[in-house]
């Protein structure tokens, strides 16, 4: 996992990595392998410390300065306000993991929109709102009400739909399980933006979670988006 992160972000010092269902032992190993250039923010959902699964964000400390952060327990949604150390550009990144579907997911989607609006105005010495990104495993497909609530007019925008199809890469489905069968594969992992404020989204990709050794790095495929802050 650390090798893949290093490869994908080797020439991208601004890269932010959103992860879900990370156990403390895995996090300790990952942080050790990545080294001191990387830090993470996020707490486990059982005790708010180290017991249970994390939803977290990895970032490179030479590039990003963490200004504020908060975890909302509506759906284990940590939210962070970063500032680019060189340009001073603010960026809000939300990382979530929905455990439920149906009505609960709809309600959580509506809450996420409200939370995003609360954070986007927390920029630094600027009259413009900060861009707000949301990533995570929503456990809902695009046809479900939770997704529709989240992406309704005035809500979030699915970044995939903001990238020209010629710049899409890889798979369509994101959840595969630990099996080669594709019958139950689903698209339930997403990257969203609250408003495409001064951001140009260049590429969208869903890359493989298994290589020739047949060992799955996860039962979900990683999503990768390249973006340019204008």
Question: Which pLDDT value is given to residue 229?
Answer: 87
* Percent over 90 (pLDDT), the chain: 51
Question: Which pLDDT value is given to residue 83?
Answer: 84
Residue scoring higher pLDDT (125 or 212): 212
Model confidence pLDDT, tens digit, residues 27-72: 999 999 999 999 999 888 776 667 788 989 999 999 999 988 888 8
Question: Which pLDDT value is given to residue 102?
Answer: 61
Question: Which pLDDT value is given to residue 127?
Answer: 61
Q: What domains does the chain contain, in order, with CATH numbers?
A: 2-229 (3.60.10.10)
- Per the structure block, which two tokens stand in for 86? 């060189």
Question: Which pLDDT value is given to residue 126?
Answer: 58
Residue 108's nearest CA partner among 81, 76, 132 is 76
Residue scoring higher pLDDT (189 or 197): 189
CA dihedral 147, 152, 158, 160 (to 10 degrees): 100
State whether residue 90 is helix, strand or coil.
strand
Phi-psi region of 102 (alpha: psi -120 to 50; beta: other; left: phi over 0): left
> What average pLDDT score do residues 110-122 get?
83
Q: Which residues share a beta bridge with 44?
A: 54
Residue 13 and residue 143: Cα distance in Å, rounded? 35
State whether residue 166 is helix, strand or coil.
helix
- DSSP string across 112-158: HHHHHHHHHT--SS-SSPPPEEEEEE-S--TTSHHHHHHTSTTS-EE
State whether residue 51 is helix, strand or coil.
coil
Question: Which pLDDT value is given to residue 101?
Answer: 60
What lies within 8 Å, CB to CB, of 148 at 6+ separation is none
Q: How confident is the model at residue 16 (pLDDT cuts 50, 70, 90)?
A: very high
Quote the DSSP letter at residue 47. Answer: T
Question: Which pLDDT value is given to residue 192?
Answer: 97
Q: Which residues share a beta bridge with 192?
A: 134, 158
User: Does position 163 have pLDDT exceeding 70, yes or no?
Assistant: yes
Q: Which residues share a beta bridge with 19?
A: 56
State how far the alpha carbon of 192 is from the alpha carbons of 50, 55, 122, 186, 209, in Å: 28, 16, 19, 18, 21
- Output the pTM of the full model: 0.89
Question: Which pLDDT value is given to residue 35?
Answer: 95
């Amino acid at each position: 996992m650390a090798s893949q992160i290093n490869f994908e972000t080797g020439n991208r010092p601004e890269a932010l990595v959103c992860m879900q269902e990370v156990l403390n032992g895995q996090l300790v190993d990952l942080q050790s392998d990545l080294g001191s250039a990387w830090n993470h923010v996020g707490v486990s959902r059982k005790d708010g410390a180290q017991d249970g699964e994390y939803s977290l964000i990895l970032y490179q400390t030479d590039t990003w300065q963490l200004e504020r952060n908060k975890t909302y327990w509506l759906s284990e949604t940590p939210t962070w306000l970063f500032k680019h150390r060189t340009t001073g550009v603010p960026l809000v990144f939300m990382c979530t993991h929905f455990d439920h579907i149906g009505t609960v997911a709809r309600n959580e989607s509506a809450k996420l929109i409200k939370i995003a609006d609360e954070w986007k105005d927390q920029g630094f010495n600027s009259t413009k709102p900060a861009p707000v990104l949301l990533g995570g495993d929503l456990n809902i497909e695009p046809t479900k009400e939770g997704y529709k609530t989240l992406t309704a007019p005035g809500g979030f925008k699915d970044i995939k739909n903001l990238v020209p199809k010629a710049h899409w890469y890889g798979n369509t489905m994101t959840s595969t399980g630990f099996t080669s069968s594709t019958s139950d594969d689903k698209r339930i992992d997403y990257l969203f933006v609250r408003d495409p404020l001064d951001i140009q989204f260049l590429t969208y990709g869903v890359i493989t979670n298994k290589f020739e050794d047949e060992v799955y790095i996860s039962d979900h495929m990683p999503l990768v988006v390249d973006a340019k802050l204008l």
